[in-house]
Structure 1
Amino acid sequence: MEVRIHKLQESDAESLFHFEVANRVYFNKMVPDRGEDYYNLETFNNKLVHLVAEQSLGLSTFYLIKDEKGTILGRINLVDFNYANQCAELGYRIGEDYIGNGIATKALKLLLDKITNLEGIHRITARTTQDNVASQKVLAKNGFTYVYTDQGEVLLNGNLVSLLHYIWKRESR
């Protein structure tokens, strides 16, 4: 399957909303629920407009992961750009019907290729739960290095989990 990443646009609102609704239960197993309000189309549209504005200001960048037909397979983002520290934080999610096909690995590679042209960001941090081995493998395959595991556990959807921290550093030119 061919994988592409496309910068988030306001015109993506309806298809992205349906993707999020269809995968809500699945995503809630790994990340905190976004709340009922998020799954209201009007609220969702307003949030998307804010994300696109944030992106246009150079504070974050949001991508949709799509196949060759344009079907949304997932999302991949760099957020919290910190130009003073030359760092951003990675986040991604793949729809339940598409897991296990290497999509996250391919999408992350595409994202890393794109940011080689992004001036000012030389390090990317990422976090995943200790039991999310698939995500740990995606990060490792793309050159992320494990840094540490949080001392304490956090409550995630009723379960105590440990968070593992990773970092990627741009190779010197």
Structure 2
Amino acid sequence: MPELQRLRADHAPALLAFEQENRAYFAKSVPDRGDAYFTDFETRHASLLAEQTAGVCHFHVLVGDGGEILGRVNLIDVTPDGAAELGYRMAESAAGRGLATRAVRQVCVRAAEEYGLRELRAETTLDNPGSQTVLTRTGFMATGELDVDLDGRPGIRYVRRLP
């Protein structure tokens, strides 16, 4: 059974492989990370770990039984009032198996219990019904705001209050 783990330094090789192998798949539904992300991955990974240590972000990877990364679920831009932005992506090979829903649920629990957060926000493109389904299944509510522009693509905002 895949395990949700907090991002660590030793995840870097598997995380890079995950991002490279799924780049074209991700680009169908979310903005592409760009070439610089891949050419300077080690520096970027170290920067993410520093942000996590500082408490401004919380990064997680979904690790398969063989040590491969199947997905990631991130809480970024933590605010002093206890809010953060949720972002997630699952490998093409992991899609449609309920893993994103399970991982987002687990991160919501951690957000409240371990990180002391009170609200999570998310955005997705209007042409990504899979992501919209994950968000609604995990307790997020659409805000009704349709003025979201995600790299030139229309999107929608969601919010979830935490206990």
> In which range does the TM-score fall when normalised by the shorter chain?
over 0.9
Out of 73, 76, 82, the residue aligned to residue 73 of structure 2 is: 76
Distance (Å, rounded) in 2 between the aligned partners of 1:19 and 1:68: 15
Distance (Å, rounded) in 1 between the aligned partners of 2:150 and 2:105: 30
Distance (Å, rounded) in 2 between the aligned partners of 1:164 and 1:155: 9
Q: Which runs of 5+ in 1 are unaligned?
A: none
Query: Which residue number in structure 2 is paired with residue 154 of structure 1?
Result: 149
Out of 112, 116, 119, the residue aligned to residue 112 of structure 2 is: 116
Query: Which residue number in structure 2 is paired with residue 64 of structure 1?
Result: 61
Q: Which amino acid aligns with 1:108?
A: V
Distance 1:47 1:114, change over 3 A: same
**Cα offset, 1:149, TM superposition:** 3.1
**Identity of aligned pairs, percent?**
35
**Cα offset, 1:121, TM superposition:** 1.4
Q: Which runs of 5+ in 2 are unaligned?
A: none
Distance 1:155 1:166, change over 3 A: closer
RMSD: 1.6
Distance 1:139 1:46, change over 3 A: same
Query: Which residue number in structure 2 is paired with residue 3 of structure 1?
Result: 2
Deviations 1:1-20 (A, max 9, x none): x2321111111111111111
What is the TM-score normalised by the length of structure 2? 0.92
Query: Which residue number in structure 2 is paired with residue 53 of structure 1?
Result: 50
What is the TM-score normalised by the length of structure 1? 0.87
Note the 1:66-145 alignment, pairs <5 A: 66-84=63-81, 86-145=82-141
Distance (Å, rounded) in 1 between the aligned partners of 2:115 and 2:52: 15
Moved segments of 4+, more than 6 Å = none
Distance 1:155 1:167, change over 3 A: closer
Query: Which residue number in structure 1 is paired with residue 157 of structure 2?
Result: 165
Distance 1:124 1:56, change over 3 A: same
Distance 1:155 1:67, change over 3 A: closer
| Residues matched between the structures, number | 163
Larger Rg belongs to: 1
Note the 1:31-46 alignment, pairs <5 A: 31-40=30-39, 43-46=40-43
Distance (Å, rounded) in 2 between the aligned partners of 1:168 and 1:142: 9
